[in-house]
Amino acid sequence: MTTPRPPLRLVGSPEGEPQREPDSGFELDAVDRAPHDLHPPYRELTIVENIDDDEAGVARTPLSPRFVIVALIVFQLMAASTFWGKYVALAHGDDQFRFAAGVTAPASLCLYLGAALLALRPGRGRWLFIVAAAGFGLSLPAWGVGYSWTWPMAFGAILALAGAWFARAEVRPDADSAAQP
Q: What angle do CA 118, 119, 120 make, to 5 degrees?
A: 95
Residue 101: the pLDDT is 84
Query: Nearest to residue 113, comparing CAs of 101, 97, 98, 130?
Result: 130
Enumerate the domain spans of the chain. Answer: 65-166
Task: Give whole-number Cα distances, 13 to 6, 18, 20, 26, 162, in Å.
Answer: 15, 8, 9, 20, 65
CB-CB contact of 113 with 78 (8 Å): no
Residue 107: the pLDDT is 93
Give the CA dihedral 7, 12, 13, 19, nearest 10 degrees: -150
User: pLDDT (tens digit, 9 = 90+) per residue, 56-80?
Assistant: 555 666 777 788 888 999 999 999 8
Residue 26: the pLDDT is 57
Which residues in the chain land under pLDDT 70?
1, 8-46, 48, 50-61, 170-181
Kindly give, in sequence order, each residue whose CB lies less than 8 Å from that of residue 168, ignoring residues fewer than 6 positions away: 123, 126
Residue 79 burial (10 A CB sphere; 0-12, 13-18, 19+): middle
User: pLDDT (tens digit, 9 = 90+) per residue, 103-116?
Assistant: 888 999 999 999 99
